[in-house]
Amino acid sequence: MIQILENIDRWKCEYKKCGAKCCTPGIPLTVADIRRIAALGYTLDDFLDDASQELTIKEKNGRCYFLGEKLECTIRENEPLVCRLLPFKITEVSYSDEPIMRLKPVVDCPGEGSGKKIDKKKIEADATLFLHENQKLIRDIRKKGRKGIVEEF
């Protein structure tokens, strides 16, 4: 179940106005995210954070590895599911009988209230996909370990 805790009607990414503050290292990845990114010609050593027990994007100059010099996302068409949830961020995920994800708007986002109407069905679909992919990833990591998952690539 996806719960959007606060409503935003319209949004446009104004990354130059805020300095792309959402583009931080440590963005969680699903296996499908990793496959999409690797298909672009990147190696896991390029973008996967070795220090994290989870599968996350490493940092480059204190920011997301894929943040370009002009503050643009260099993999926009193949960005991770978590990035597709913007202008919402994940505040809580719980896995019990039914997985639950709570989303909240990014604080002080300059694009809030402008741009296109937010497609909440798409946000919910991407969030649900992330939940299911992440739940499978957690099971696989418990079974094979992080190293075993990474070796599959």
pLDDT tens digits, one per residue of 104-114 = 998 888 999 88
Residues pairing with 73 in the sheet: 67
pLDDT for residue 68: 92
Please state the rounded mean pLDDT for residues 81-100. Answer: 89
Which residue ranges make up each domain of the chain? 2-151
- The pLDDT score that the predictor gives to residue 78 is 93
Assign 66 a pLDDT band (cuts: 50, 70, 90).
very high
Contact 73, 66 (CB under 8 A): yes
The pLDDT of residue 123 is 94
Q: Give the amino acid at 33.
A: D
Across the chain, mean pLDDT equals: 89
Instruction: Give percent above pLDDT 90 in the chain.
Output: 49
User: What pLDDT is attached to residue 40?
Assistant: 94
How does DSSP assign the chain, residue by residue?
-EEE-S---EE---HHHHTSTT--TT-B--HHHHHHHHTTT--HHHHB-SS-SS-BBPEETTEETTB-TTS-BTTGGG--HHHHTTTEEEEEEE-SSS-EEEEEEPTT-TTBTSSEEP-HHHHHHHHHHHHHHHHHHHHHHHHHHHHHHHHT-
User: Are 122 and 151 within 8 A, CB to CB?
Assistant: no
